[in-house]
Structure 1
């Protein structure tokens, strides 16, 4: 039987915002096979993993699923090695790296949902490969940067239509790729949160972050600010900078590691505010915080400018600890109303997202 849709995703090694978008694609096309560079079984949802999954040669490299960033120069070859076997009508990719470069079958339409052009090659190269990075990463990144950016841009010839996850990303697609795109924002899974939320949970004195410990997340800004304020901060997550960040933190800052979805939602409900100091292409967690009835204190840049308002949080204008501290002090003088927070989150529901995606795919592939 002919397959009408094939799905592509860069790698399956965790379950974050990009994987939630992929999961929604799996809901729309439950029979669609999936192609990816790497798959670590059990790290994503059953909806994603209950289908045929084809991986590249990188999946056979010992330890690659945990240390895949070290293999960045091999990513283009890994994407090129994936050959779509199905005679499909639509290729739908969820891409923030190289997966959009998988060659589409003859006669098919490739629609790529772009979470971001490769941020570590373009705008945030120094954040990832600056003087703080190990020397081998600094030299390796500089040695391969031209090759990778050239391949990345050329791979767009394989894409018929691009969808940007925000106006912020749309601008970057236009500037870097010289391509037009349409904007369809990702979603916050309101049902998921409502199923877990407790109506009895009251606010406590701590502030909260839920994040990967990567350079672009700017967890260091939050730690320095809260070190000075001596106010309780809880941080949920893990990542490459974990040891370094823990060394920076004083006793008022608590690292909770990776928690269950229910525990994350419970902490979001109890927190005074959600701290978001990085530049994100969109940013799902601030919307999840609003859905839990918790306002957000965010750096005024990137995708949050499309999701947050003065009724739902506080912005700080400079990417430094002092600017964040000033914002926290302003926040403590303001009352936020839960009704405004919930209404803002409702604007980014999963139902709206899937309706827009489905309509767009139908319109360009009919």
Structure 2
């Protein structure tokens, strides 16, 4: 059976790109279609077809390209394929002309219904005047396309519920792939660091609470500082981004030391996680890869009780969740996380592995 894998656009890095990579590994003989490909080296051994948008300046401006996307996806002919597997967080699940959608099966793995139009409170891009005006039209179109017989999977129960609320469709929950096998292949990631990275790690003497992500507002990294203050432990923030100035200003008035590690490599990030007492992850995420990585490495986590991250924490019993990153509740959550037996969580983490994802995808598709 000949298959096609569809993805919104291919970037050099990102969680959805990791899902695409895992799909590609699962179905190595399938073709790939996307709006545009900004990482041609990533799938250089595969046929990757781009839409006409790739030949226009719109590829550099997703907001400007958005009004054209539904039409582009609708015009894709799928007649040469027995099945189509879609990785969607915007409109990719619209793929296929009406006649060709009836020809083969469409399976759509949903990272989230487009937050721009369905959950603007979680995405600043959805709060612009232009998006607010156009959202009702896109909502009607999105709901209509979702009702055309596509088989859906969601990357968490949190997103399955959002699919039900927005599209009135059901979905199978398949958690996204996490590189658990790779993470657990090294007993001590500090042994893989170069001399400069080793100096960074050794400068962080003693116990600390870790937060890591892009330094952007919705990641709420200031709440990691609050967690350190509540526990009386130093804080390490690892990453880079536009909120760094704000975070450094917040750190100046903190009651505990706050150290910054600029854009760590994967090896250094893994070593930072292994050396931390607790990994704190405040944002409301669709799933949350980093908490799973932390638990797979043996570090307990504190996450937001809203969103998908709580699902992995509950499944692995590898930490705690809070409604508020303030006051006694936060202190209790950190204390609870510190008391977790992480040996069991490490063993159970394979349920979120790339191998498990591949098996679950094939079972869901009946292939």
Q: Which runs of 5+ in 1 are unaligned?
A: none
Q: How far did 1:276 drift?
A: 0.8
Distance 2:8 2:299 in 1: 32
Instruction: Output the aligned Cα RMSD.
Output: 3.2
Distance 1:13 1:153 in 2: 27
Aligned residues of 1:196 and 1:262 also touching (Cα < 8 A):
no
Give the match for residue 194 of structure 2. Answer: none
Distance 2:184 2:138 in 1: 42
Q: How does 1:28-39 map to 2 (within 5 A)?
A: 28-39=26-37
**Which one of 65, 69, 74 corresponds to residue 75 of structure 1?**
69
Q: How far did 1:144 drift?
A: 1.9
1:207 equivalent to 2:201? Answer no
Q: How does 1:1-366 map to 2 (within 5 A)?
A: 4-41=2-39, 46=42, 48-62=43-57, 64-65=59-60, 67-69=61-63, 71-80=65-74, 83-84=76-77, 87-103=80-96, 105-106=100-101, 107-123=103-119, 125-129=120-124, 138-198=128-188, 204-223=206-225, 226=228, 231-239=233-241, 241-250=243-252, 252-309=257-314, 311-318=317-324, 320-322=325-327, 325-327=330-332, 330-331=335-336, 334-362=338-366
Distance 2:339 2:260 in 1: 28
Aligned residues of 2:320 and 2:334 also touching (Cα < 8 A):
no
Residues 213 and 199 of structure 1: CA distance in aligned 2, closer, same or farther (over 3 Å): closer
1:175-233 per-position Cα deviation (integer Å, ceiling 9, x unaligned): 11111211122232222212345277799522222323444432343345557877433
Per the normalisation by structure 2, the TM-score is: 0.82
Q: How far did 1:279 drift?
A: 1.4
Q: How far did 1:317 drift?
A: 1.8
Residues 240 and 200 of structure 1: CA distance in aligned 2, closer, same or farther (over 3 Å): closer
Q: How far did 1:91 drift?
A: 0.6
Residues 126 and 167 of structure 1: CA distance in aligned 2, closer, same or farther (over 3 Å): closer
Aligned residues of 1:316 and 1:323 also touching (Cα < 8 A):
no
Q: How far did 1:327 drift?
A: 4.1
Per the normalisation by structure 1, the TM-score is: 0.82
Q: Which runs of 5+ in 2 are unaligned?
A: 192-200
Q: Which runs of 4+ in 1 moved over 6 A?
A: 199-203, 227-230
Q: How far did 1:342 drift?
A: 0.3
